[in-house]
Amino acid sequence: MQTTLNVKGMTCGHCESAVKGALEEIKGVSKVKVHLDSGKVDVKYKEGKVSLEDMREAIEDQGYDVES
């Protein structure tokens, strides 16, 4: 499965690393690509193993907002 999240507040490479790292730590997430300029984050994941809510929480824990 693949989804694209809209994340607000990422401004620099550190932000990119924080979001990418938090998502990659989730079991079931296999690939993360952050587009800093647009705020879009592409995530490849195993359906049933991880929910969009898990991803949202991981990102918000880093201090960023996810647009629904």
Which residues contribute to the site for its own copies (CB under 8 A)? 9, 11-15, 18, 63
Nearer to its own copies (CB atom), residue 15 or residue 50 = 15
What burial class does residue 58 get, using C-beta atoms within 10 Å of its C-beta: 0-12 exposed, 13-18 middle, 19+ buried?
Answer: buried
For its own copies, which is the closer residue by CB, 24 or 63? 63
Comparing CB distances to its own copies, the nearer of 14 and 27 is 14
Q: How far is the CB of 60 from its own copies (least distance, A)?
A: 15
Contacts of 46 (CB under 8 A, 6+ apart): 1, 28, 30
Look up tokens 């296999």; give the residue. Answer: 30
